[in-house]
Amino acid sequence: MARQVHGMVEKRGSGLWLTHVFMILGVLVIFFPIWLAFVASTVTQADIIRPPMPVWPGDQLWTNYKNALFSGINVPVGTMLLNSLVMAIGIAVGKIIISLLSAFAIVYFKFPGRNLFFWLIFLTLMLPVEVRIVPTYEVVAGFGMLNSYSGLIFPLIASATATFLFRQFFLTIPDELAEAARVDGARPMRFFWDIVVPMSRTNIAALFVILFIYGWNQYLWPLLITTDPEMNTIVMGIKQMFPSGDDFAHWPTIMATSILAMIPPVIVVVGMQRLFIRGLVDSEK
């Protein structure tokens, strides 16, 4: 009986076959744009500007990628990749450090103004950078941080999502641990380093994945503050590779750049899938 019911709920036989067909179709449709971009990055410009373009890869992969990485159009794509990497890691690490510290203070100390502070950081959750771009731009320009890594990083770590996440997690750490630490005469920072940080390992890693993708995929902010092509990040730099007039865009280089722009976040997401899904679900709670 149990087996029979099982068969009614989970598909077997012809139904199973059909389910796989649907899934594969879904995957193919979703992958199609990436596949076309990849093909375009392996053929010549001449192959593309006489539509329809080929559907199978050509033999120009090495030439196109070498060309993109080392010469690019305005600036070598290698430079843009480096800028993106610095920005994404800077945002992820910076945000994790400041939020670990402040969440620790909020959870483990009683100090005047704690509630006010808590509500202030709560407010920062509500306002994405897109909403306050003009004044934030003025602040960054006032500090002379245009075209700099600090200008790319700092405004984007001024939000308290991570602080909330760590606060939630710290509240689940058993009180006995802090009690024992206090009885042993351990200083608060010692407790932080020896107990709290090691216990938060998984949360830190999951958050790193989410923040890395967030930083890597930024568009509007780098567009505003990196006027010098040498400081462009790869995600915003692709659009800058299009000619302003009526000329044909150099699609093989642009598509090679698009593929290069996807590789690091895709590696992070697929490689750290478990942590990524955990981080995603946690950070949305």
Positions 68 through 87 that interact with another protein (CB under 8 A):
none
91 binds another protein (CB under 8 A): no
The count of residues interacting with another protein (CB under 8 A) is 105
Q: Which of 19, 71, 74, 227 binds another protein (CB under 8 A)?
A: 19
> Which 120-159 positions form the footprint of another protein (CB under 8 A)?
120-121, 124-128, 130-140, 154-155, 157-159
Q: Which of 17, 36, 197, 243 binds another protein (CB under 8 A)?
A: 36
Q: Which of 202, 217, 229, 282 binds another protein (CB under 8 A)?
A: 217
Provide the minimum distance between the beta carbon of 82 and another protein in the complex, in angstroms, as a whole number.
17
165 binds another protein (CB under 8 A): no
9-18: long-range contacts, CB 8 A cutoff, minimum separation 24: none
108 binds another protein (CB under 8 A): yes
Q: Choose between 71 and 139: whose C-beta lies nearer to another protein.
A: 139
CA distance 191 to 226: 41
Provide the minimum distance between the beta carbon of 24 and another protein in the complex, in angstroms, as a whole number.
8
Q: Choose between 99 and 200: whose C-beta lies nearer to another protein.
A: 99
In sign, the C-alpha dihedral spanning 19, 21, 23, 26 is: negative
What the block records as the tokens of 163 is 């602080």
Q: Choose between 135 and 198: whose C-beta lies nearer to another protein.
A: 135
CA count, 13 A, side-chain hemisphere, 30: 6
96 binds another protein (CB under 8 A): no
Using the CB atoms, write b or e for 108-142: b if 16+ within 10 Å.
eeeeeeeeeeeeebeeeeeeeeeeebeebbeebee
CA distance 229 to 148: 12
CB 279 within 8 A of CB 206: yes
Q: Which of 232, 222, 246, 241 is nearest to 73 (CA)?
A: 241
> Which 220-249 positions form the footprint of another protein (CB under 8 A)?
220, 223-224, 235-236, 238-239, 248
Q: Across the chain, which distance is largest between two alpha carbons, in Å?
A: 77
171 binds another protein (CB under 8 A): yes
The position carrying tokens 């941080």 is: 145
117 binds another protein (CB under 8 A): yes
Provide the minimum distance between the beta carbon of 43 and another protein in the complex, in angstroms, as a whole number.
12
Provide the minimum distance between the beta carbon of 6 and another protein in the complex, in angstroms, as a whole number.
8
Indicate the residue type of 32: F
Provide the minimum distance between the beta carbon of 92 and another protein in the complex, in angstroms, as a whole number.
14
